[in-house]
Structure 1
Amino acid sequence: MTPPASTSLSTHVLDAEAGRPRVGVPVRLERDGSVLAEGVTDDDGRLRFAEGVAPGVHRLVFEVDTPFYPEITIAFRVTGEQGHLHVPVLLSPFAFTTYRGS
């Protein structure tokens, strides 16, 4: 039997108010209430998870600590057909947006 396909995952946090990457944001990758991986955004606001991600519904939890949002949780689905998923966050003190990046 062939094992399920694995997908690589990265994220990027951009601070819209400051006009630069958000450095040092703790990020957790979760599935079914378990933490699969965690890390901190680098000097370019990026974080790449070392391990592949199996198919299913996952969550990225960003500890952003803005005046309004202590954290942001983004749920997304991995189908196993994607070679790589990139989940960027554009952050401001009272709003955020995300999309499926490339």
Structure 2
Amino acid sequence: MSGYLTTHVLDTATGLPAKGMKIALYKVSGNSHTKLVEVETNDDGRTDAHILPAEKFKTGQYELVFFAGDYLRASGQVSEDILFLDQIPLRFGMSDPDAHYHVPLLLSPFGYSTYRGS
């Protein structure tokens, strides 16, 4: 298999990459989640390496959890104890063993969007 997974986060409220956001990747099987890796975004809002590199890539169901609340508090955009957006889970499937899957997050304190990027 030569597929791999990447992600990045853009802060649409500031117009900048979301630097320092923690992201966890889980392999999902039914109701079971197995954490594979936890990373943090760099100055460009990306991870320093593929979040799931080719040598560890397997097809199946996965979930990225973006720790948006921690990032939004650290950036000074929110200060409440209870946030509208805190942890954002994105569950998706990867079926092509040779594909590059890119799952970005566009974030503001009150909304987000995602898509399959390239």
TM-score bracket, shorter-length normalisation: 0.7 to 0.9
CA offsets 1:68-94 (integer angstroms, 9 cap, x no match): 111101011111344211111110111
- Name the CA distance, whole Å, in 2 between partners of 1:26 and 1:85: 19
Which blocks of at least 5 consecutive residues in structure 2 are unaligned? Answer: 73-82
Q: TM-score, normalised by structure 2?
A: 0.76
- Judged with a 3 Å threshold, the aligned counterparts in structure 2 of structure 1 residues 75 and 82 are, in CA distance, closer, same or farther, namely farther
Structure having the higher helix fraction is 2
Match of 2:115 in 1: 99
- CA-based RMSD: 1.5
Match of 1:17 in 2: 13
Output the amino acid matched with 2:66: F
Q: Percent identity over the alignment?
A: 40
| Matched residue count | 98
Which blocks of at least 5 consecutive residues in structure 1 are unaligned? Answer: none
8 Å CA contact 1:57, 1:76 repeated in 2: yes
DSSP-derived class of the 2:68 partner: coil
Q: TM-score, normalised by structure 1?
A: 0.88
Q: Report how far residue 6 of structure 1 moved.
A: 4.5
- Name the CA distance, whole Å, in 2 between partners of 1:18 and 1:82: 35
8 Å CA contact 1:7, 1:78 repeated in 2: no
- Name the CA distance, whole Å, in 1 between partners of 2:93 and 2:99: 13
